[in-house]
């Protein structure tokens, strides 16, 4: 009996990583690198807006790692005692840009230009639930332009949906991360960069994880040279 048990293959551990939508491409590139160094562990991703992911974790969803697109959301996770002590790491930085369709005839060069009649629909993540939307609204409020833009705002469920709206020509301009704009260079063009507070990405292991050691290893791995190289190729900057 012991011989049979010894010969049985180790059961693979599925590590569930809930991550901000803007991390989709980078994390899919990082997963096989982590798996190759941790035999028997398989990464399962859940991508969505950071606030939606936090709501899932707070309701007890079986999540091992949480990676958000802003520090505010991770702070809330910490305040709710959802994070494993000492596991939080900031692993990347991003920038906010305004994109327009690649064939657009009018190109804005600053936030004030979005007041022009040509920009009938301006998309951004819902500020109530999407970090990119909060960054966009804060920048517009600082420029005293939110009252002019809000009536034309098309709110998206996450930053990738906002990108899709512009790519399909369903909005004349949109606020997305610089990394998102890179993945559709043939369908959108960056009009200008938006001044914001630092856009930092933290990750942490979830306190109730059934695979806490693997979860901690994944978070730490995000700061490894291999993972940072993948992030850099996707346009992320070092934290």
Domain that holds residue 31: 2-92+200-233
The pLDDT mean for the chain works out to 93
Q: Considering the domain boundaries, does residue 22 fall inside one?
A: yes
pLDDT at 179 over 90: yes
- Determine the pLDDT at residue 13: 81
Residue 7 has pLDDT above 60, yes or no: no
For position 193, which CATH number holds? 3.40.190.10
Is residue 239 domain-resident? Answer: no
Question: Between 3 and 151, whose confidence is greater?
Answer: 151
Q: Are 119 and 46 members of one domain?
A: no
The pLDDT tens digits for 198-213 are 999 999 999 999 999 9
pLDDT of res. 11: 46
Q: Do 65 and 16 contact (CB within 8 A), yes or no?
A: yes
Same structural domain, 136 and 173: yes
- Long-range contacts, stretch 37-40, CB < 8 angstroms, 24+ apart: 37/221, 38/214, 38/217, 40/10, 40/11, 40/12, 40/13
151 and 215, same structural domain? no
- For residue 43, tell me if it sits in a domain: yes
pLDDT digits (tens, 9 = 90+) for 115-141: 999 999 999 999 999 999 999 999 999
């Amino acid at each position: 009996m012991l011989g049979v048990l010894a010969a049985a293959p180790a059961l693979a551990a599925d590590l569930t990583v809930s991550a901000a939508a803007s991390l989709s491409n980078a994390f899919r590139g990082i997963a096989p690198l982590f798996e190759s160094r941790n035999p028997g562990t398989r990464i399962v991703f859940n991508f969505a807006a950071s606030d939606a992911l936090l709501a899932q974790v707070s309701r007890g969803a079986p999540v091992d790692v949480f990676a958000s697109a802003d520090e505010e959301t991770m702070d809330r996770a910490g305040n709710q005692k959802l994070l494993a002590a000492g596991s939080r790491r900031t692993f990347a930085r991003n920038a906010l840009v305004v994109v327009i369709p690649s064939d657009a005839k009018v190109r804005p060069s600053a936030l004030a230009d979005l007041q022009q009649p040509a920009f009938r629909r301006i998309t951004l993540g819902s500020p109530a639930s999407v970090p990119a939307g909060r960054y966009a609204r804060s920048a517009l409020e600082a420029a005293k332009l939110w009252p002019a833009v809000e009536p034309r705002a098309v709110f998206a469920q996450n930053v990738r949906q906002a990108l899709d709206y512009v790519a399909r020509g369903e909005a004349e301009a949109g606020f997305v991360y610089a990394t998102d704009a890179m993945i559709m260079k043939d369908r959108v063009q960056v009009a200008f960069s938006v001044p914001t507070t630092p856009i930092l990405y933290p990750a942490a292991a979830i306190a109730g994880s059934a695979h806490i050691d693997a979860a901690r290893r994944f978070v730490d791995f995000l700061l490894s040279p291999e993972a940072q190289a993948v992030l850099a190729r996707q346009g992320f900057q070092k934290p």
